[in-house]
Structure 1
Amino acid sequence: MIASPQSAKSQLEVNSEQYFKPFAGKRIGHIRIQQLDVFGPSIQDTSIVLDNWLAKVGNGIHVKTRDWVLRKNLLFKTGDIVDPRTMAEDEKLIRDLPYIKDVSIILIPDQLNSQIVDVLIVTKDNFSWGFLLDINGSKSARFDLFNQNMFGLGHEFSIGTVYHSHEYPTVGFHGFYGVNNIGGKFINGAFRIEDTYRKNAVSAMLEKRFLTTKTRNAGGISFNRVFRFDYLTDDRIMQLDTTVSFLDMDAWYGHSFERKKETQAAGNFIVAGRLSSRKFFDRPTVSSQRNQLFHDQHLILGSVAYSKRFLQKNNLVYGYGITEDIPYGDYLELTSGYDFGEFYNRSYLHLYYSKGMVLPDFSYLRFGLGAGSFFHHNQLEQSTILGEGNFFSRLYNINGHRLRQFINVRYIIGFNHFNQEYLTLNDEWGIRGFKTDFVRGTQKLTVNMEAVTFLRSQFYGFRFAPYCFSDLGFIGDNTKFILNQDFYAGVGLGFRIRNESLVINTFEFRLTWFPVTPPDIHPWNFRALGQPKAEFNDFLGRRPEILPYH
């Protein structure tokens, strides 16, 4: 069992560096790794043993992450000086690995030399095998089998099949293989292939992201050959009237300039550049003023950014009891570029600012503001203005029930976008469970409110979270004030079930009532689905992008 050093580490709603600050400046001695069983012990109490056959079978089947795989994710080594920020960011980096449930880096003073501290790294894997099953009556079905830590090497693998009785091909397949942190250089690689009624494509990528405030260089290359698809992007926002075939090539590089040690709190300046191209092979008829979304293009983007990021430890936000690292800080980005189009060329410019803060009562607030546009013959084209905000409250304890509230607000308006571009309120883009082809616009405002109760009871590691929600959406064109546009809403109740020791998605059951409906939506909607866990917005450098319009 971990002794007293761990009790100090169990504090929540504190800056993630706080535990390490008393050890700043001391030299690192021995580094030891302790891996816990998947089922039973916890980071807070390593002595727990589950005496049931299911836990024993699960622990017996699971292959623990190799020690050397964990060690190549360390940002420090024996002989280094303890830096609190490096330690805190390394905990987040390891905790974010898809096969790790939780981690704790514990510093233990050397009994013979007060200037040396030994390091104990306690980790707990996720059970690496998982599956996905989605059945829609006799019409369609999907089954996936995956492993996010093959043989304890940190490799990801998945294979699946998709069936649809009225589409071609009736039975299709898809596969994925990914490698995290190749050679200890924090470069990730992935290969994906898919041939289903939805899409026929093959893609590959290598990328190193800005993972910490001390990451100096980042970049990536990717290849995506799409043979058949009725969307232009994988987020499936705007469905096309026809299928298309195209090739995407992309490369980017960014550099973060090293700060002087005494000004670490001042943030980083980051310069990044990107080259991307899209070549169509099968598309609708195009001209300079027709079907512009299907033009071949070569895009060059460059950005200058200012980034300041800190971390706060918390739990019961998006997770179900595990430690969560909440980023807060500032991110300011100026991006410009040039689009070498098939029929004409144009320039691009956008400015974006985001700020996240932990409020005095340990609530969290983040907002983002951005404006950007292409410029062609001194005219604005595909212009976008957006404002967004995210809030979640502190964790309330009411009669033994733990409750947290969430509010997300997003406003976006577009000017002179192409005919095939539009905004929707469908599902994650506005109102959950809402899916229609009749509600589209160039301006929208969405407000998503949710109150979640995290129950203390559990069943074989599965934890439960009932919730109620209200999603509001205004959408229309640019001729009227947004609150005078068409109004839609979804109000309902839901229930989430998650086991943080498993790599499967969160089970969610949701009942929604739509007080106002278009012709193709029923007023009541019930969904049973698997949902990936939500992620926090970060404030580190990134690949230059066009300001999103969705």
Structure 2
Amino acid sequence: MRKTFTLIALFLLGMNYLLSQEIDTLKVKDSLLEGISPEREAKNRVFYERIKNFFSKYKLTKNLNNLIVIEEKATGRTLTPTATVTTTVTHIKAPSYQGKIIRNIVITTLDPFGFDEKDLSKVPNTRLERFGNALHVKTRESTVRKFLLFKKDKPLDTLLLSETERVLRNQRYIRRAQVRAIPVSQTSDSVDVQVNVLDSWSIYVDGDLAGSRGWTRLTEQNLFGIGHELSLTYQQYFSGIGNNGKGFNYVVRNIKNTYINVRTGYYSDYENYFSKSIQVERPLYSPLARWSGRLGYYEYRYEDEGISYRDSIYIPILMTRTFDAFGSWVKPLRKVENKRINNFIIAGRFRNINYYEKPSPEIDPEQYYGNENLYLTQFSLNSTGFVKDRYIFRNGDIEDVGIGRSLFLTSGILRKNYATLPYLGIGFAEANYTKRGYHSINFEVGTFFKDGTNKETVLKGEGTYFSKLFDIGDWHFRQFLRSSFVVGFNRNVYQRDRINLNESNGILGFSSREVYGTRKLILTSQTQVYAPFQLIGFRFSPFLSADIGFIGRENTAFLKTEVYSKVSIGFYISNDYFPFGAIQFSFGYYPNIPGTGNNIFKFTGVTNDDFRLHSFSQRLPNIVSFR
């Protein structure tokens, strides 16, 4: 016990050291890159010219020349790859229009190919771009207007302009956005606001082949240009042509400018496993929002993880119905010197889960799968800000990285199996950009109480770091690091009340029923490369990663736990114009997977979710998860 808390203290102290040198982002230059240098433009132009010349030699590839666009810029001289060019960047302080009356709001939406939200005179110049735009339904002006945080004939607040721009960029069907004030005249007390939005290509197909089945999904993120989302899913099991599953999801976004969304979904397969859901929610879309809430109803029938029963593996089939209600109220606090948005948030949640199919009492004597009612309240202090950067999860587009601090206290009761268990949890999170890059830390602890003693206590922590962008030639690089730990005390002896290192719970591609425990530590390192070249928006970004996981049981010393690892090399496929995330293909080496063997090599192909950055907008009241 003492060693465990010593390790946790060292973890927190180490992350605190990394977080100690905070930069006031309002007092330094913008962290965004200044754009592509003339030298790089010349090298890229020569590279693409060589590809075009190669394609033009053969009839089969001659038509592919239309896929390669070389932008010619009007300059007074010719650039060559070896030319030495001196570029001078002058930083001009933008005039402030704070408090001036908004006379007009002009909204311009642009198709995804060949347009630029910062230069409206730019138009598509290839047949492929024009053809792609002709197939695309552009976002309607009324759809954009519903997300504006400012109004006509009201005083202008520059914070509302920048936050509107961020909210628009956060919509998956919008690639880039620019919101700026334009003076009517030098002497006028009024301004116009120009809102320019560049669309993403909103239709895409994704899928995966895994084990005994494969699935594909067709998604439209911006149906008819009104921001609604529709996806159709088909899953085929290889056991027979008639063994398949079908489903859909539909999302209505921002009803009547209320920021209320309605989501509904249905999926069913040939084995009568299904999921049904309907959810009405108002997210805390911005730190300036004053309330949020959600009502949801969910039905599931599925196979749970296998458990040991009479010297064999029993696969329980479960059917559940869940009702979940949540609401929060936000009280703004006074701004401090760092100009962040500070809020005090009160939230409450009620969740009811009923099991209509579950294992018999003989198999489940502890009633792990028992009906339950969960009541939670949460009080939190949030300090939120955003930093703009590029080349994190996308190639060159602006990304809004959340920074700030959060302190939260959660309390409530769980009623399950005719018992009432009080619950108490506390947590802290912080994220900053410093001289060394981006650092975040998240720590939380929660416990139930029974008969005056704590029960099912969980300590959980996570730290994430990525370096500042550095270059080698035309290639960009970042180093990502992540560490996380989970420690459980006074847990049930039931098999499902255990943690493992399987897949997203630890090491991607690792899966073993023989590896489990009550405590684990995972360390991940990834070197990410951003290639300077693209083909019709597709980019292939190589990476090298390593994972190591430690896992042990409550009666085992923390430093004497089992150790498992993985080394992989691969690449991400992303597209500048499409709204889907990066797709990962990697080749991994696993020294040991108990139950499978030693020296194992695997190919993986999944959506990338290895590194996620902390969000300070809102934390849903919940029990600290033991996984």
Same fold (TM > 0.5): yes
SS in 2 for 1:42: coil
1:176 equivalenced with 2:249 (yes/no): yes
Task: Say which SS state the counterpart of residue 288 (structure 2) adopts.
Answer: coil
Q: Are 1:100 and 2:174 an aligned pair?
A: yes
Cα offset, 1:541, TM superposition: 2.6
| Segment of structure 1 superposing worse, 42-51 or 289-298 | 42-51
Counterpart of 2:566 in structure 1: which amino acid? Answer: G
Picking from 374, 382, 385, the partner of 2:456 is 382
Deviations 1:288-339 (A, max 9, x none): 9934331111111001100110010101111122110011000111000011
1:447 aligns with 2:520: no
Aligned twin of 1:489: 565
Corresponding letter in the other structure for 1:163: Q
Give the Cα separation in 2 of the matches to 1:28 and 1:546: 46
In structure 1, what residue type is equivalent to 2:239?
H
8 Å Cα contact 1:285/1:291 also seen in 2: no
Question: Does 191-200 or 397-406 show the bigger shift?
Answer: 191-200
Cα distance change, pair 195–394 in 1 and its aligned pair in 2 (3 A): same
The separation in 1 between residues aligned to 2:314 and 2:186, in whole angstroms, is 70
Q: Is the partner of 1:403 in helix, strand or coil?
A: strand
Q: Please name the residue that 2:398 is paired with.
A: 323
Q: Return the alpha-carbon distance in structure 2 between the equivalents of residues 243 and 473 of structure 1.
A: 30
Unaligned runs of 5+ in 2: 1-28, 34-91, 307-312
| Cα distance, 1:367–1:165 mapped onto 2, change above 3 Å | same
Q: Which amino acid aligns with 1:426?
A: N
Q: Residue 225 of structure 1 aligns to which amino acid in structure 2?
A: E
Contact 1:286 1:294 in 2 (8 A): no
Structure 2 counterpart of 1:298 = 373
What is the alpha-carbon distance in structure 1 between the residues aligned to residue 175 and residue 341 of structure 2?
A: 32
Q: How does 1:343-358 map to 2 (within 5 A)?
A: 343-358=418-433
Asked whether the 8 Å contact 1:313–1:326 carries over to 2, the reply is yes
> Which residue of structure 1 lines up, in the alignment, with residue 324 of structure 2?
250
Other-structure match for 1:225: 299
1:422 is paired with a residue whose SS is coil
Partner letter of residue 151 of structure 1?
Answer: F
Cα offset, 1:483, TM superposition: 3.0
Identity %: 27
Equivalent residues of 1:209, 1:542 under 8 A apart = no
Correspondence 1:41-120 to 2 at 5 A: 41-120=115-194
For structure 1, the residue ranges without an aligned partner over 5 or more in a row are 1-9, 233-238
Q: SS of the counterpart of 2:96?
A: helix
Could you say which residue in structure 2 is the equivalent of 1:538?
A: 615
Q: TM-score, normalising length from structure 1?
A: 0.90
Report the Cα distance in structure 1 between the residues aligned to 2:117 and 2:594, rounded to whole angstroms. Answer: 50
Q: Secondary structure at the match of 1:468?
A: strand
CA distance in 2, matches of 1:118, 1:19: 19
With 408-417 and 287-296 compared, the bigger mean Cα shift is at: 287-296
Q: Structure 2: how far apart are the matches of 1:302 and 1:136?
A: 40
C-alpha distance in structure 2 between counterparts of 1:526 and 1:490, whole Å: 12
TM-score by length of 2: 0.79
Measure, in 2, the Cα distance between the counterparts of 1:168 and 1:416.
48
Amino acid paired to 2:246? F
2:94 and 2:363 map into 1 onto residues whose CA distance is 60
**1:83, 1:151 → 2: CA distance?**
32
For the 8 Å contact 1:213–1:309, the answer to whether it is kept is yes
- For residues 50-107 of structure 1, the C-alpha deviation after alignment (integer angstroms, 9 at most, x for no partner) is 4444322220011011100100011111123333332222222111112111111122
Structure 1 residue identity aligned to 2:156: V
SS class of match (2:595): coil
Deviation at 1:186, TM superposition (A): 0.6
Residue deviations 1:35-58 (CA, integer Å, cap 9, x gap) = 222112234555544444432222
Deviation per residue, 1:204-253 (Å, 9 max, x gap) = 10111212222111111000011344269xxxxxx983110111001111
Q: Which of 208, 211, 235 does residue 162 from structure 1 map onto?
A: 235
Contact kept? 1:506, 1:533, Cα under 8 Å:
no
Q: 1:283 aligns with which of 337, 341, 358?
A: 358
SS in 2 for 1:293: coil
Q: Which amino acid is the alignment partner of residue 152 of structure 2?
A: T
Q: Where do residues 422-433 of structure 1 align in structure 2 (5 Å cutoff)?
A: 422-433=498-509
Indicate how the Cα distance of structure 1 residues 206 and 133 shifts in structure 2: closer, same or farther if over 3 A, else same: same
1:486-511 Cα deviation digits (max 9, x unpaired): 11111121111211211344232201
Distance 2:93 2:600 in 1: 51
CA displacement, residues 137-169 of structure 1 (integer Å, 9 cap, x when unaligned): 8x4221211101110011100111111133897
Structure 2 counterpart SS, 1:23: coil
Residues 204 and 578 of structure 2 are in contact (CA less than 8 Å); yes or no, is this contact kept in structure 1? yes
Structure 2 counterpart of 1:201: 275
Please, what is the CA RMSD of the aligned residues? 2.7
Alignment CA distance shift 1:460-1:207 (3 Å): same
- Counterpart check, 1:36 vs 2:114: no
Give me the whole-angstrom Cα distance separating, in 2, the residues matched to 1:55 and 1:73.
28
- The change in CA–CA distance for 1:260 and 1:407 in structure 2 (over 3 A counts) is closer
Deviation at 1:261, TM superposition (A): 6.6
For 1:214, what is the secondary structure of its paired residue? Answer: coil
Task: Report the residue type matching 1:267 in the other structure.
Answer: N
Q: Match of 1:144, as an amino acid?
A: R
Q: Which amino acid aligns with 2:296?
A: S
SS of residue in 1 equivalent to 2:216: strand
How much has 1:121 moved relative to structure 2?
Answer: 1.1
* C-alpha contact (below 8 Å) 1:445/1:482 kept by paired residues: no
1:523 pairs, out of 587, 600, 603, with 600
Work out the CA distance in 1 between the residues paired with 2:601 and 2:336. 59
Q: Answer with 449-458 or 525-534: which moved more.
A: 525-534
Q: Deviations over 1:385-425 (max 9, x none)?
A: 01110111110012232101110110111123332122121
Residues 1:477 and 2:553 are matched in the alignment: yes
Equivalent of 2:345, from 242, 260, 270? Answer: 270
- Matching residue of 1:549: 626
- Conservation of the 8 A alpha-carbon contact between 2:299 and 2:322: yes
Matched, 1:341 2:423: no
Matched pairs, number: 530
- Match of 1:211, SS state, is coil
Tell me the secondary structure at the aligned position of residue 89 of structure 1. Answer: helix
Give the 3-state SS of the residue equivalent to 1:59 in structure 2.
helix
Gap change, CA 1:86 and 1:292, over 3 Å in 2 = farther
Aligned position for 1:468: 544
AA at the equivalent of 1:294: Y
Structure that is richer in strand per residue: 1
Structure number, greater radius of gyration? 2
* SS of equivalent to 2:165: helix
- Letter in structure 2 aligned against 1:520: T
Hey, what does 2:5 align to over in structure 1?
none
Matched letter for residue 378 of structure 2 = S
Provide the C-alpha distance between the structure 1 equivalents of 2:449 and 2:389, rounded to a whole number of angstroms: 44
The 3 A distance-change label for structure 1 pair 177 and 374 is same
Cα distance change of structure 1 residues 483 and 152 upon mapping to structure 2, 3 Å threshold: same
The worse-fitting range, judged by mean Cα deviation, of 423-432 and 185-194 is 423-432
Aligned equivalent of 1:506: 582
- Give the Cα–Cα distance (whole angstroms) in 2 for the partners of residues 163 and 34 of structure 1: 43
Q: Which residue of 2 aligns with 1:6?
A: none
Q: Aligned in 2, Cα 1:422/1:506: closer, same or farther, shift over 3 Å?
A: same
Task: Give distance in 2, aligned partners of 1:536 and 1:46.
Answer: 33
